[in-house]
Structure 1
Amino acid sequence: MENKTKLYLLTGFLGSGKTTFLTNVLNDLTDRRVGVIMNEFGKVGIDGTIIKKDDMELIEINRGSIFCSCLQLSFVSALIEMADRNMEYVFVESSGLADPSNIGEFLDAVQIAKGDAYDYSGAICIVDGVNFLEQIEDIETVERQLKFCHLVVISKVDLIDEETLNKVKSKIREINDKAEIQIAINGRLDYNFLEKNLMEDDWVGTEDTTNSPENKPKTLTLTYNGEITKEKLTQFIDTIKKDSYRIKGFFKLEDGWNQVDVVGKRIDYKATDKEEPDSQLVIISKIGPQIIRPIFSAWEEIVGKEMKLR
């Protein structure tokens, strides 16, 4: 009997460090056949360009959550397509706003279509050590992702003190008292979870997801042809970040192309050799379409040159 593909689901709220974690895992699996299904809320996939490697198969599903009925068919089709490519591992990186409570429905659908192609090996939830305690108070998705996981990885622990880390762990235990908790520094773990059986004591059932076409957050893409200073871009982002769940993209600045990543109050810039035809920022709004006017007025006031928002 041929070996089944090990399938892992990667969850975690926006900006928790899923892509960094996945990049490190992929680096450890360079000699293996690995597939990635990348799900982003925006119309434009940003993270797919970050993790692309020569020996990796990638399918991107954008414009919503794969667990919402609006993308259900796309997700099942992607799983079936990956099964046909005979991978050793497939990682599904879900959107930061995904509620994976209904993962069982998708596994059942794939089994009907492809038989036992996959060995579902568990859901890994990346928890943002810096922002988690604030997020858990007002974002239901964060709790749902934790409840339906088999391994919790706390990221960014180098940016918090021991007291905060202990509070984060105890809050996680209130929601999920069975999943193993590990900590990651710069997306790296101390041990290899691939060799563990995360499903040994599978306590996670299936429930209806809270993701629906009605509560899908508004995602906008800002496109700009030209170069601006880091100072001006920072000033612009500072004006709109309080109304955004997440802002990320690639932008041409005075020192060249930068990967831009905004989580909470923090703005990170990282020089990159990836050149794009235009600078782009994907903005996920907390306040729906009401964010459009502030974006235009802040851009006009700070940059004053033409950009497109769609």
Structure 2
Amino acid sequence: MKRSTEKKSEIVFLLGGLGAGKTTFLNRLLRTEQVRQQKVCLLINEFGEIGVDGQLIEDSEFPLFELNKGSLFCACVRSDFVSVMSRITAELQPDLIIAEATGMAEPRDLEDFIDASDLRQALQIRGHWTLIDSRHFIRQVAFLRAIREQVYRADILILNKLDLVSAKEVQQIKDVVRSINAAAPLVEARYGEVHDLSGFWRIEHRRLQGDCLQEPPDPVFSRSWRFDKCVNWEKFRQMVEKLGDHILRLKGHIDFGFGPEFVEVVGGEILRRPPVGSVADGRCEFVTIHWRIRESEIDALFHEITESV
């Protein structure tokens, strides 16, 4: 069914820290009746140059667009965002656009940005839905402004990964979240699964003025890695341990000498699982996101692990 040209496309922004479970939640959202009865497009935004999350979308029937060189809330990709959104709204005319933002997204300027462009005639923000990584939230919120901004500007807060924390820790997380945002509904989730998503569509977007906190942006940068060497597992493990909080995220394919694996690092934890799609033996493609460390130090550390095994 073709959307009426007089009706604006609505856009939902999926927010949440690095490794909060946004892609898993998105896959579950795409299976709901409320989404499937609409004409939907997807926008996947990643901080690094290698698109990983787009490969993890399970349902290929929805048109998918990617922006992979910075946060879509950052000036560095705003022109690309306007170009992609203009194309989507003009050519595809969807009812709904679901945008999965990078974990470092700071959404405080987005409404003004849309209002200042031609997009205001075709696009309307439906909501900011923020996922919270219960396992790592308390540590991340203490030093990452982006995490606080995402909670502060959320229309819905989704407390994910509850199976990984105790009841006492859950209450601590809720207390911190409510000190930042006391208005948004707070729902619980495990593995990105919410008991009933139908109520999400009844929540109106709240437009907030001003910033949550007056402070400079987080000193965060990303690196994209592509090479045809195996990685030494023991040296890799030691490197992650040594980096500690300086490595906020790693995701992508790495070959430790036994064939490629899909590897994730969040909160110092290393997760390994079978590869996504077809990846050649010995081929490594992954993205890392770092905080408060010199790029030269990162280059030196990763050079040490990229040796044949």
TM-score by length of structure 1 reads 0.85
Aligned to 2:147: 142
Aligned to 2:84: 78
Aligned to 1:249: 252
Aligned to 2:134: 129
Q: CA deviation at 1:222?
A: 2.2
Aligned counterparts, 1:169-248, within 5 A = 169-193=174-198, 196-199=201-204, 202-207=205-210, 217-228=220-231, 230-231=233-234, 233-248=236-251
SS in 1 for 2:210: coil
Deviations, residues 125-147 of structure 1 (Å, cap 9, x unaligned): 11110111111111111111111
Structure 2 runs not aligned, ≥5 long? none
For the 8 Å contact 1:155–1:186, the answer to whether it is kept is: yes
Aligned to 1:53: 59
Q: For residues 273 and 68 of structure 1, do their structure 2 counterparts lie closer, same or farther at Cα, with a shift above 3 Å needed?
A: closer
Q: CA deviation at 1:298?
A: 5.6
Q: 2:250 is aligned with what amino acid? A: I
Q: For residues 65 and 206 of structure 1, do their structure 2 counterparts lie closer, same or farther at Cα, with a shift above 3 Å needed?
A: farther
Aligned to 2:108: 101
Q: For residues 72 and 206 of structure 1, do their structure 2 counterparts lie closer, same or farther at Cα, with a shift above 3 Å needed?
A: farther
Structure 1 runs not aligned, ≥5 long? none
| 286, 289, 294: which one aligns with 2:291 | 286
For the 8 Å contact 1:256–1:271, the answer to whether it is kept is: no
Q: Percent identity?
A: 24
Q: Residues of 2 paired with 1:270 and 1:105: CA distance?
A: 41
Deviations, residues 49-94 of structure 1 (Å, cap 9, x unaligned): 1116321111111221111222222112222222121223211111
SS in 1 for 2:75: coil
Q: For residues 253 and 27 of structure 1, do their structure 2 counterparts lie closer, same or farther at Cα, with a shift above 3 Å needed?
A: farther
Q: 2:130 is aligned with what amino acid? A: C
Aligned to 1:14: 18
Q: CA deviation at 1:104?
A: 0.8
For the 8 Å contact 2:162–2:189, the answer to whether it is kept is: yes
Aligned Cα root-mean-square deviation (Å):
2.9
Q: Residues of 1 paired with 2:218 and 2:147: CA distance?
A: 15
Q: 2:54 is aligned with what amino acid? A: G
1:120 aligns with 2:125: yes
Q: CA deviation at 1:237?
A: 3.3
Equivalent residue pairs, number: 300
Deviations, residues 235-273 of structure 1 (Å, cap 9, x unaligned): 443343542121111123455432211111211112134
Q: 1:90 is aligned with what amino acid? A: I
Q: For residues 208 and 37 of structure 1, do their structure 2 counterparts lie closer, same or farther at Cα, with a shift above 3 Å needed?
A: farther
1:268 aligns with 2:251: no
Higher mean alpha-carbon deviation, 275-284 vs 143-152, is at: 275-284
For the 8 Å contact 1:246–1:283, the answer to whether it is kept is: yes
| 164, 168, 171: which one aligns with 1:163 | 168
SS in 2 for 1:106: helix
Aligned to 1:25: 29
Aligned to 2:71: 65
Q: For residues 31 and 275 of structure 1, do their structure 2 counterparts lie closer, same or farther at Cα, with a shift above 3 Å needed?
A: farther
Q: For residues 252 and 80 of structure 1, do their structure 2 counterparts lie closer, same or farther at Cα, with a shift above 3 Å needed?
A: same
Q: CA deviation at 1:305?
A: 3.8
Aligned counterparts, 1:29-48, within 5 A = 29=35, 32-48=38-54
Q: Residues of 1 paired with 2:306 and 2:80: CA distance?
A: 38
Q: Residues of 1 paired with 2:258 and 2:39: CA distance?
A: 37
For the 8 Å contact 2:219–2:292, the answer to whether it is kept is: no
SS in 2 for 1:45: coil
Q: CA deviation at 1:154?
A: 0.8
For the 8 Å contact 2:21–2:160, the answer to whether it is kept is: yes
Q: CA deviation at 1:303?
A: 4.8
For the 8 Å contact 2:15–2:102, the answer to whether it is kept is: yes
